[in-house]
């Protein structure tokens, strides 16, 4: 019994010793852990070796202090940063007062009345007199403007195969024309050798060159070929003369555009609009009639030559010059449009739809335009929609229309 009790006592002492040793080791480990965590927090994540804390506590990964890093301490191979996503397609930038078409503050432009007061600045060119307004696009860019008028005159004379004699006057409107002519981008009073063109910085260089050429061609044709009684021929020849400016400037080719108009069942009969002034009340309201008549004129010139067209312009003698009536020539030309339709690259129905949307937006805007910065920005956006439309960019046209309405209704 005594020996058994002694042995039991010895065994109990050893157990106590082992227990005390285990407690000491555990205390040392805990102390080391606390010191390590404090050093890690003070040095930051960049100084902590990857996986260090995991070696101490495999089941727990402490997060660093928020002021050091927003990410947890890595416990393995860091993840690579995800590749940057491709930027979204660019949308039209909102027009601003510093843009090309910034509002000038000048009063609305006119066709008649006190022209000297409305267009007080004058530049004398060897072939023409340029009239313009202070603070407008033409005033800010006079040298480039004069060069563009020279280029437009050269285009008109080349297309008509003539050279205009004597001087003429050109009035460049730096603001929208006064009501009821706000929808017009130009007008030619050929009998007085005067040409008026909206030149307020809207559109782009090719578009501006086109309208200059168009109005100058009216005046050049009337004063060289002779006046015409056909509105269709007058507008057709003028629009034909501007073809080079638009096509070289990235706009839809005339043959593509006219085939699409035909495919959309929007091509007028040339005999129906020949003397219909109401069918040609500006490119904004009746663009299909302008481009359609140009394609018809081009067809006659390409198939019969320029000289018969020069004689037809003042006489309207279709049978004597072409051996066929206008209706027969129209049908002949429309057959070529039908043959072109299968090769179309643009959607005819979209062309028709977006054209109506742009015309509607323009009409609403011009009814309410007050010259304020807000409505001027909306006007610039609507006109950019017209340019995109003529270039065959329907999505871009609708983006500009969305921007115009947002600006108009103060959502931008």
Look at residue 259 in the predicted model and tell me its pLDDT.
Answer: 98
- Residues facing 195 on adjacent strands: 170, 188
Question: How many domains is the chain partitioned into structurally?
Answer: 3
DSSP state, residue 177: B
Residues composing the chain: 412
9 belongs to a structural domain: no
Q: Are residues 326 and 359 in the same domain?
A: no
Look at residue 32 in the predicted model and tell me its pLDDT.
Answer: 42
Q: Are residues 337 and 357 in the same domain?
A: no
Look at residue 336 in the predicted model and tell me its pLDDT.
Answer: 98
Q: Are residues 361 and 291 in the same domain?
A: no
393 belongs to a structural domain: yes
Q: Are residues 333 and 363 in the same domain?
A: no
* Residue 193 pLDDT exceeds 50: yes
Look at residue 341 in the predicted model and tell me its pLDDT.
Answer: 98
Nearest one of 361, 410, 368, 406 to 386, comparing CA atoms: 361
User: Residue 270 CA to chain centroid, in angstroms?
Assistant: 32
pLDDT tens profile 86-117 = 454 455 554 443 468 888 889 999 999 999 99
Nearest one of 148, 295, 162, 264 to 219, comparing CA atoms: 162
Q: Are residues 115 and 219 in the same domain?
A: yes
* Residue 59 pLDDT exceeds 90: no
Q: Are residues 411 and 296 in the same domain?
A: no
356 belongs to a structural domain: yes
Task: Write down the mean pLDDT value for the chain.
Answer: 82
Q: Are residues 108 and 219 in the same domain?
A: yes
Q: Are residues 310 and 400 in the same domain?
A: no
28 belongs to a structural domain: no
pLDDT tens profile 399-411 = 999 999 999 888 6
Mean pLDDT within 216-225: 98
Look at residue 61 in the predicted model and tell me its pLDDT.
Answer: 33
Q: Are residues 290 and 219 in the same domain?
A: no
* Residue 25 pLDDT exceeds 60: no
- Per the model's pLDDT, the better-predicted residue between 231 and 6 turns out to be 231
390 belongs to a structural domain: yes
27 belongs to a structural domain: no
Q: How far apart are CA 307 and CA 305, in angstroms?
A: 6
Look at residue 90 in the predicted model and tell me its pLDDT.
Answer: 54
Q: Are strands 194-198 and 186-189 parallel, antiparallel or unpaired?
A: antiparallel
Q: How far apart are CA 91 and CA 8, in angstroms?
A: 91
Range of the domain at 176: 99-224
24 belongs to a structural domain: no
Q: Are residues 173 and 260 in the same domain?
A: no
Q: Are residues 180 and 110 in the same domain?
A: yes
């Amino acid at each position: 019994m005594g020996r058994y009790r002694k042995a039991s006592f010895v065994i109990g002492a050893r157990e106590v010793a082992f227990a005390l040793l285990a407690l000491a080791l555990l205390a040392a480990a805990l102390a080391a852990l606390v010191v390590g965590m404090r050093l890690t927090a003070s040095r930051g994540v960049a100084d902590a070796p990857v996986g260090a804390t995991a070696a101490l506590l495999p089941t727990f990964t402490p997060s660093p202090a928020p002021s050091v890093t927003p990410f947890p301490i890595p416990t393995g191979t860091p993840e690579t940063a995800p590749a940057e996503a491709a930027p979204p397609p660019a949308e039209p930038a909102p027009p601003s007062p510093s843009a090309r078409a910034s509002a000038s503050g000048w009063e609305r432009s006119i066709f008649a009345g006190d022209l000297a007061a409305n267009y007080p600045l004058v530049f004398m060119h060897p072939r023409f007199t340029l009239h313009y307004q202070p603070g407008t696009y033409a005033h800010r860019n006079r040298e480039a403007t004069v060069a563009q008028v020279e280029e437009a005159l050269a285009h008109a004379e080349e297309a008509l195969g003539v050279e205009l004699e004597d001087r003429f006057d050109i009035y460049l409107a730096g603001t929208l024309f006064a009501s009821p002519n706000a929808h017009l981008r130009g007008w030619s009073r050929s009998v007085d050798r005067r040409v008026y063109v909206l030149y307020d910085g809207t559109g782009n260089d090719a578009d501006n060159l086109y309208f200059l050429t168009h109005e100058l061609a009216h005046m050049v044709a009337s004063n060289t070929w002779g006046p015409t009684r056909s509105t269709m021929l007058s507008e057709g020849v003028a629009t034909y003369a501007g073809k080079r400016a638009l096509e070289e400037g990235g706009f839809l080719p005339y043959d593509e555009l006219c085939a699409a108009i035909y495919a959309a069942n929007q091509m007028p009969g040339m005999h129906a609009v020949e003397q219909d002034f109401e069918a040609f009340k500006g490119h904004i309201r009746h663009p299909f009639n302008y481009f359609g008549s140009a394609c018809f004129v081009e067809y006659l010139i390409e198939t019969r030559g320029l000289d018969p067209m020069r004689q037809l312009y003042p006489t309207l003698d279709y049978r004597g010059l072409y051996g066929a009536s206008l209706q027969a020539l129209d049908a002949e030309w429309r057959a070529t449009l039908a043959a072109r339709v299968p090769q179309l690259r643009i959607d005819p129905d979209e062309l028709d739809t977006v054209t109506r949307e742009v015309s509607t937006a323009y009409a609403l805007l011009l009814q309410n335009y007050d010259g304020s910065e807000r409505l001027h920005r909306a006007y610039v956006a609507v006109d950019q929609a017209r340019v995109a439309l003529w270039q065959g960019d329907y999505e871009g046209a609708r983006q500009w229309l969305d921007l115009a309405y947002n600006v108009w209704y103060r959502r931008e």
